[in-house]
């Protein structure tokens, strides 16, 4: 009886190992396919460069945060 259980456990271990290998291969293929190539930029600003807080397109992009002590001075 123990020999039979041991064979079943070994068989189940091999099945688990094969399923894990298939999963790894499929996930690797998925990641490689999804990561192929960069997406082209879609925001066309008419040739203007975007410089935060220094261009007309960047107005309001970066505003310094005021400290609580500055807001409520005694």
Of 52, 71, 50, 72, nearest to 62 (Cα)? 52
How far apart CA 54 and CA 56 sit, in angstroms, is 7
Q: What is the mean pLDDT of residues 9-31?
A: 97
For residue 9, pLDDT over 60 is answered with yes
Query: How far is C-alpha 34 from the geometric centre of its chain's CA atoms?
Result: 11
Using one digit for the tens of pLDDT, what is the confidence trace for 26-72? 999 999 988 877 766 666 666 666 665 555 655 555 566 566 665 55
Task: Kindly give, in sequence order, each residue whose CB lies less than 8 Å from that of residue 58, ignoring residues fewer than 6 positions away.
Answer: 50, 51, 52
pLDDT for 18: 98
For residue 19, pLDDT over 90 is answered with yes
């Amino acid at each position: 009886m123990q020999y039979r259980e041991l064979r079943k456990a070994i068989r189940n271990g091999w099945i688990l190992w094969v399923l894990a290998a298939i999963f790894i291969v499929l996930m690797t293929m998925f990641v490689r396919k999804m990561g192929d190539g960069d997406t082209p930029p879609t925001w066309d600003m008419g040739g203007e460069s975007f410089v935060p807080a220094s261009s007309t397109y960047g107005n309001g992009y970066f505003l310094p945060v005021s400290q609580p002590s500055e807001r409520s001075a005694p």
